[in-house]
Amino acid sequence: MATGNGTFSVIGSDVTIKGDIVASADLHVDGRIEGDIACASLVQGESSVIVGTITTETARLSGTINGSISARDLTVLRTARIEGDVQYDALTIEQGAEVEGRFSHRVSSKAADTAAGNTPKPTGDDEPRLTLAS
């Protein structure tokens, strides 16, 4: 699950954070987060509660989430309870997981242009960008 950048932050089960989290590192959450999360990779423990929007490249969710999720590669484990819309590129859901919301498959702009017969013009910056508003 780690993205290979060597940094992994853990939020323990005895920790509650009220506010947004932006991390370039991989994040493991066992506690409670009341705010939006943007990180490279997210692992959520079974007892964890997240109230807010999650934006990540990869996520492995097994706790409670109340908010929308956007992930390139998403795994929802059987103990997960999600209330909110889910956007994904690749999705795995274990039997028993509960989701109250809509699933939608994300289509990258390059894939959409190719499917429409357009050739995408090089921008010189092919890295994905994330902008968070306060």
- List, in order, residues 6 or more apart from 35 with CB less than 8 Å away: 17, 18, 19, 20, 21, 51, 52
CA distance 16 to 27: 15
Report the pLDDT value the prediction gives residue 99, as an integer from 0 to 100: 93
Average confidence (pLDDT) over 72-82:
97
- Answering whether pTM is above 0.85, one says no
Report the pLDDT value the prediction gives residue 129, as an integer from 0 to 100: 40
Report the pLDDT value the prediction gives residue 125, as an integer from 0 to 100: 47
Report the pLDDT value the prediction gives residue 7, as an integer from 0 to 100: 80
Contact by Cβ (8 Å): 35, 53: no
Tell me phi and psi for residue 64, to 5 degrees: -105, 130
The kind and range of the H/E element at 55 are strand 54-61
pLDDT in tens, 52-63: 999 999 999 999
pLDDT at 65 over 60: yes
pLDDT in tens, 14-52: 999 999 999 988 999 999 999 999 999 999 999 999 999
Report the pLDDT value the prediction gives residue 18, as an integer from 0 to 100: 98
pLDDT in tens, 92-131: 999 999 999 999 998 765 555 545 555 444 444 444 443 3
